[in-house]
Amino acid sequence: MSYLRSPKEDEEIFREEIEKKPHEKKILFFGLTQTGKTSIIKTVFEGRSPEGTESLAATVRFERMKYDFGDHSIYSFDIGGQTSYLEEAIGFLKQHIFSDVYALIFVVDIANVGDYTLSRQYLLKIVRNAFQLNDDPLIYLFAHKMDLITEDYRDEALTVFSRYFDLEKLESVKLFTTSIYDESAIKAIEEILEK
Ligand SMILES: Nc1nc2c(ncn2[C@@H]2O[C@H](COP(=O)(O)OP(=O)(O)OP(=O)(O)O)[C@@H](O)[C@H]2O)c(=O)[nH]1
Ligand SMILES: [Mg+2]
C-alpha cells in the first residue's frame, strides 16, 4: 500500500481545508528540491535549530501548517520541490494553491549554480500563476544558503545571481539574501509579514 496521498486525496483535503480564516496570512513556499524551504519554515516558525534541519526528508507533494508568529496567524504551504510536485501545483492544484495568497516566497540555493536555469523556468511559471489568481501578489525571491558563499565572494555571487535571474525585468519580485544559520531568514519573513 502506498503511503503517499493520491492527487484525488489531496483535492479532498483541500476542499475540507478551504476554511482558511480571513485573518490568516497564506504564504506559499516554492523552489526546487533541497533549496531549504522546509528548513526555513521549521527554523523561523517552529524555532528548530539550523542543525536540526540537516536530516529533513524531502517534502512529498506539499505540507500545510498553521502557525502563530508574533501577532500574525500564518497558513503556510510548503510545496515539495521535485518537478513532478511543482507540475501538480501549477497544474490541477493551481486554483487551490494560488488563490488568496498573502505572499509567495521562491527559494533558490545560491551556491547551486547548476540549478539556476531550471529554477528560473519555474520562478517565471509560478509568478505567472500567482498573478493570474491574485490582484497584486507579494512575491519574494530568496537567494538562500548565503552562508555557503565565502564572505569575499558574496557581492560577486549576488551580482551573478541577479543577472541570471534578470531581476531588473522582474519588477514585482523582491530579493532577499537569506540563511538559516544567521538572523537573515527570520528577518526577511518578519519584513514580509509587515507589508
Ligand atoms: N548551509 C545551509 N544549508 C541549509 C540552509 N537551509 C537549508 N539547508 C539545508 O538544505 C538541505 C535541504 O533542506 P530542505 O529544507 O529539506 O529543502 P526543501 O527545499 O524543503 O526540499 P524539498 O522538500 O525536497 O523541496 C538540508 O540539509 C538543510 O539543512 C542554509 O541556509 N544554509
Ligand atoms: Mg521540504
Q: What is the DSSP string of 44-88?
A: HHH---GGGGTTPPPPPSEEEEEEEETTEEEEEEEE--SHHHHHH
According to DSSP, the residues that pair with 109 across neighbouring strands are: 144
Whether residue 112 has its Cβ less than 6 Å from ligand 1: no
Check whether 21 has a pLDDT greater than 80.
no
Nearest to 72 by CA among 40, 102, 49, 31: 102
> Residue 148 CA: which ligand 1 atom is closest?
1
**Best mutation site among 33, 45, 56 for ligand 1, i.e. most ligand atoms within 8 A of its Cβ?**
56
Average pLDDT over residues 164-186: 94
| Residue-level pLDDT at 1 | 45
Per-residue pLDDT tens for 77-123?
Answer: 999 999 999 999 999 999 999 999 999 999 999 999 999 999 999 99
- Spatial strand order of the sheet with 72-79 comes to 62-69, 72-79, 25-30, 103-109, 138-144, 173-177
- Give domain status of residue 112, yes or no: yes
- Chain-wide mean pLDDT for the chain? 92
Pairing state between β 72-79 and 62-69 = antiparallel
Residue 133 CA to ligand 2 center (angstroms) comes to 24
Ligand nearest to the CA of 65: 2
Whether residue 59 has its Cβ less than 6 Å from ligand 1: yes
85 close to 8: Cβ distance less than 8 angstroms: no
Whether residue 184 has its Cβ less than 6 Å from ligand 1: no
Average pLDDT over residues 36-62: 97
- Give domain status of residue 181, yes or no: yes
The structure's pTM equals 0.92
Residue 114 domain boundaries: 22-193
Phi, psi of 171 (to 5 degrees): -60, -30
Who surrounds ion ligand 2 at CB < 5 A?
38, 59
CATH number for 110: 3.40.50.300
- Give domain status of residue 57, yes or no: yes
Count of domains observed in the chain: 1
Residue 181 CA to ligand 1 center (angstroms) comes to 11
pLDDT band at 171 (very low <50, low <70, confident <90, very high): confident
pLDDT band at 17 (very low <50, low <70, confident <90, very high): low
